[in-house]
Structure 1
Amino acid sequence: MTLQVADKRDLPGFKRELQEAFSAAVIDAVGSVPDQSIPSGDDVEESFSAPGAATYHVLLDGIRVGGAVLTIDPVSHRNSLDLFYISIRQHGRGVGQRAWQAIEARYPETKVWQTFTPYFEKRNIHFYVNKCGFKIVEYYNAHNPLPHRPAPEGMPDDGDFFRFEKIMRDER
């Protein structure tokens, strides 16, 4: 399992594959996809161009099987997994866990990793908590909205989200 930096020319295909993987999760949960792409094209583009963004292809035996968009803070070492997907053809084979281990190995100075996932996405919750060692630290809903933007429209469970953290080393 390796990570390959995504070139700007790769980003349209990366976005399409990411949206296909995310749409499959929504279809599993509710049987159909909302009219707009999930995540929206604007959200994906914003992640690609955010300060500290690092975009990678996940390669298995040299073949692209997924991708990740990270935000890396070289000062605080509190990093974020903003977008992460594995091709639906690779699900259930341990590829996601090995990809996550490759990300952790690439950033050994990380003190804390953070990520978010929708409330309805049971497979993601299982993956982050039981396979990768994250803890749920916050629940976003109508009474505690996402801090930086509204929840995407058309999502199951009213767009509720969890925030996860994984403490890699003591911040003292």
Structure 2
Amino acid sequence: MNSMIQLRLLKDYDREQFIRDSQEAFNFGAMEEFGLRDEHFEEEGQIISRETIKQSIEDGEAYRIIREEGKIVGGVVIKVEGEKGDLDLLFVSPDVHSRGIGYAAWCEIEKLHPEVKIWETMTPYFQQRNIHFYVNR
């Protein structure tokens, strides 16, 4: 299953698109849960602010999730210190949800950092898809 994707370090030229793609993915989850009435925005019209994403990228390792055919389908930002890892961001494009891409990306992250014994993450309480993923995968 894991050969379906690869992780590629984020390039400077792709940074702005990474931010937009991340915001789109997080907004999609909020819209699924709350519809247009959502008031949980960090900044106008965005569940996760541009600054939050930029800071995450600057403080961690950012990767693009690429499918076999070369299509960008998501991204991830992690931080690793010894045996502890933090998953800051993991997003998959809404048009490819439920196809095993998030799980395949997670498996690749674990391969990149086998030294990590404890991974931590946070996700919004309304992101039921994320909670299911983190608890059951």
CA distance in 1, matches of 2:58, 2:47: 18
Which of 46, 54, 57 does residue 37 from structure 1 map onto?
46
Matched, 1:58 2:65: yes
Shift of residue 5 of structure 1? 0.3
Task: Name the residue aligned to 2:27.
Answer: 23
Which of 115, 119, 122 does residue 113 from structure 1 map onto?
119
Shift of residue 48 of structure 1? 1.1
1:118-167, Cα deviation, whole Å (9 max, x unpaired): 1111111101111x2xxxxxxxxxxxxxxxxxxxxxxxxxxxxxxxxxxx
Greater RCO (CA < 8 Å, at least 6 residues apart)? 2
Task: Name the residue aligned to 1:46.
Answer: 55
CA distance in 2, matches of 1:100, 1:126: 14
Q: Which one has a bigger Cα radius of gyration?
A: 1
CA distance in 2, matches of 1:70, 1:107: 10
Unaligned runs of 5+ in 2: none
Task: Name the residue aligned to 2:130.
Answer: 124
Q: CA RMSD in A?
A: 1.1
Structure-2-length-normalised TM-score: 0.88
Code of the residue aligned with 1:36 in structure 2: it is G
Structure-1-length-normalised TM-score: 0.71
Percent identity of equivalent pairs: 37
Q: Which structure shows the bigger proportion of residues in helix conformation?
A: 2
Query: SS where residue 75 of structure 2 aligns?
Result: strand
Code of the residue aligned with 1:103 in structure 2: it is I
Query: SS where residue 111 of structure 2 aligns?
Result: helix
